[in-house]
Amino acid sequence: MLRVLVLAACVLTACGGEPPPPRSTINANARPITPRSKLPASIQPLLPRHGVYASGGGLVSSAWRVVLDLEAKTLYGGTASASNVPSTGPMDRESKKALSPRNEQHLMELANAAWNEVPPDEPLNPTADYDEVFIVVSGDDAFFLRGYGPIRRPLAAQAIVELRAAAGL
């Protein structure tokens, strides 16, 4: 009995620290779904009701953020001038412009392709000094992808490149 208690205490101690990333479910179309309420709290106020959120930054690189809002028909882009600041915080350079029908169609096709992209079999190879986040939001459902470094899934990485370019970053 004592061994079981000691083992349980060791397991509970080892499981302390950061909570695990949110669990995804799969909908009928085999798309991974993370409920909006399970997304990181610091990101939730920045999310559109329908659209795309992408951000990145790190210890030695400046933070950036892009928000494509389908309801407002806008594309926001922001960058911070300093490194090691949160991508969810204030940006030093910001712009918001009207979302053209062509960009809306093209960028959402990329975002939806990323949502449907088959995840790689190999485990993530985390990077300590940089991180990217990519979220496609559809009401209360979301596709949440965190790179723990640059996002390496080809379709999601391409969506990020094109979102940044469209936002002027």
- Tell me which of 8-22, 62-76, 88-102, 122-136 is least confident: 8-22
The answer on pLDDT for 11 being more than 60 is no
- Kindly compute the dihedral angle of the four CA atoms of residues 77, 83, 88, 89, in this order, to the nearest 10 degrees: -100
Output the pLDDT for position 18.
Answer: 37
Q: What confidence tens digit (pLDDT) does each residue in 110-140 have?
A: 999 999 998 888 777 788 789 999 999 999 9
Extents of the domains making up the chain: 25-166
Per this entry, what is the length of the chain?
169
> What's the half-sphere exposure (Cβ side, CA atoms, 13 Å) at 94?
10
Please tell me the distance from the alpha carbon of residue 65 to that of residue 54, in angstroms, as a whole number.
6
Output the pLDDT for position 20.
Answer: 42
Output the pLDDT for position 35.
Answer: 96
The answer on pLDDT for 92 being more than 80 is yes
Closest CA to 156 of 105, 118, 122, 124: 118
Average pLDDT for 89-118: 96
Choices 3.90.1200, 3.30.1560, 1.20.120, 3.30.450: CATH for 25-166: 3.30.1560
Average pLDDT for 135-155: 95
The answer on pLDDT for 27 being more than 90 is no
* 70, 53 Cβ separation under 8 angstroms: no
Output the pLDDT for position 2.
Answer: 33
Average pLDDT for 81-85: 93
